[in-house]
Structure formats: C-alpha cells, structure tokens
C-alpha cells in the first residue's frame, strides 16, 4: 500500500474544504463561521453532527419521540436517499427505514437494472423525529430540521439524491407540485441532481403494477445519473 505523505494529507484536506465550500455556495450560503470542523472528513463530521443533535428541542416532535433518527449508511456515499420522517420501528431502533417500508426500499434499490446496495448509500429523512401517529411533518417541523439535513448533505456532498414521496420532494425543491408531476425528471439541487419517486409506504398501500413500474423507472433514472456522476 502506498504511504500517505503529509503533503498528500494536506492536499486531500484542502480539496475536501474546497468541495464543501462550493457545496454551501451552490445551496445559497454566503457566510460560514470559521471553525476547524470544516477540515474534518465526512465520517467525523457526520459523527459530530449526530452528537450535537442529541437532546434537540427545536420543535414539538421532541415531546413524543423515543430516539432521534439521524441517518445511516456510507459516510462517503455519493448516492443519498431522503424520506419524510421516521416511523414507529425507526423511532424504536434509532435507524431510518427499518420497518416494512424500509425492507421494500432495500428491495427497490437492489432491483434489476438498479442494483444499488444500501451499504453504498446514505439514508436519512427530512425530519429526524417521529411525528405522532406517523402523520406528515408540518411546515415548522420541516423548517426546524432543515439546517440539520443541509449540514448532512454538505458533509456527504452527494452526486445523486433520491427523494421519496411528496413531503420530502416538495420540501427539498420548495414546491407544491404533486409527486406525480415531479417524478420521472431530473431536478438540479446545488451541485447534485435530485430524482423524486414514490415513497415505499405509498407503494405498500397501492400495490398495483402501474406504480411499481413507475417507481422502477425512477430508480433506473437515478442509477443512470449516478453512473454518469459518481467519482468513487
């Protein structure tokens, strides 16, 4: 194995800093506090973010949660999956998409002509705490969690974002258009592209072949974009 020299390490750190600053610029951020955390690698950055998030009381969802569900997966992933909110299983285990919808998500990613393992992706939600009775997150709750999601994406610097369902997609794109009109297209999102599709929970409630086929087409589109853009 080649020895990593101090020069190589410095070059990598400066490259990561430059990429992070460009990502913030693309998201519209014009000022950043000067802190050493910007020189951390993605693993350390995500760990620090998750630690800082513990005990969060920025919105009413803190009152009923068991666990903050930060996200899980490859900290160097260039493919990120974003849903709307944790459910009961996720709240109990502290991990995203581990219930029936999560099992379907795994199968969707592993489907023929998609063939993505969850080990090479990072999976998270727009809000990190379970809404009561699995209702949709409300606007103020989405706004309270938005900085945490933005920080995750800045650390990950994904090339492709797969957004699941109308809540996540509308929140990320700042639109009211329904998922049926947003899906099937590639949307610009900073230095990444965002591809919407149906939420696995919706597919479980609507098991017909039509929605299954459309979701598979979306995932194939995401795979093609990933193959074009990935650097690792």
Query: Would you list the DSSP string of 68-115?
Result: ----EE-TT-SEEEEES---HHHHHHT-SS-SHHHHHHHHHHTSTTT-
pLDDT of residue 24: 55
Q: Note the pLDDT tens digit of each residue in 72-121.
A: 999 999 999 999 999 999 999 999 999 999 999 999 999 999 999 999 99
Strand partners, 196: 163
Is residue 121 domain-resident? yes
Tell me the average pLDDT across 156-178: 98
Confirm whether 214 is domain-assigned: yes
| 2 domain residue, yes or no | no
First to last CA, the chain: 18
In a domain, 32, yes or no: no
Find, among 94, 66, 87, the residue nearest to 137 by Cα: 87
Give the predicted TM-score (pTM) of the model: 0.84
Helix or strand or coil: residue 122? strand
194, 197, 198, 204: CA torsion to nearest 10: -120
> How far is residue 15 CA from its own chain's centroid?
23
Residue 4, in any domain of the structure: no
Give the pLDDT score at 22.
66
In a domain, 222, yes or no: yes
For residue 212, give its domain range.
10-27+41-229
Q: Is residue 3 part of a domain?
A: no
What pLDDT is stored for residue 2 in this prediction?
45
For residue 216, the domain's CATH number is 3.40.470.10
Q: Looking at the 3D structure of the chain, how many domains does it have?
A: 1
36 in a domain, yes or no?
A: no
């Amino acid at each position: 194995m080649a020895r990593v020299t101090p020069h190589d390490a410095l070059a990598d750190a400066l490259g990561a800093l430059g990429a992070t600053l460009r990502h913030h610029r693309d998201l519209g951020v014009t000022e950043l506090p000067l802190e050493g955390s910007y020189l951390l690698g993605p693993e350390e950055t995500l760990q620090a973010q998750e630690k800082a998030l513990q005990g969060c009381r920025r919105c009413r969802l803190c009152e009923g949660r068991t666990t903050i569900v930060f996200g899980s997966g490859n900290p160097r992933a260039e493919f990120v999956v974003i849903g709307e909110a944790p459910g009961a299983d996720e709240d109990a285990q502290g991990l995203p998409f581990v219930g029936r919808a999560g099992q379907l998500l795994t199968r969707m990613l592993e489907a023929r002509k998609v063939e993505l393992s969850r080990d090479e992706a990072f999976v998270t939600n727009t809000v990190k705490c379970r809404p009561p009775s699995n209702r949709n997150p409300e606007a103020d709750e989405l706004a309270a969690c938005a900085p945490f999601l933005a920080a995750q994406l800045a650390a990950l610097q994904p090339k492709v974002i797969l957004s699941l369902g109308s809540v996540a997609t509308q929140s990320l794109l700042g639109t009211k258009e329904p998922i049926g009109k947003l899906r099937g297209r590639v949307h610009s999102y900073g230095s990444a592209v965002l591809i919407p599709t149906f939420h696995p929970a919706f597919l479980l409630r609507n098991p017909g072949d039509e929605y299954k086929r459309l979701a598979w087409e979306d995932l194939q589109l995401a795979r093609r974009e990933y193959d074009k853009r990935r650097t690792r």
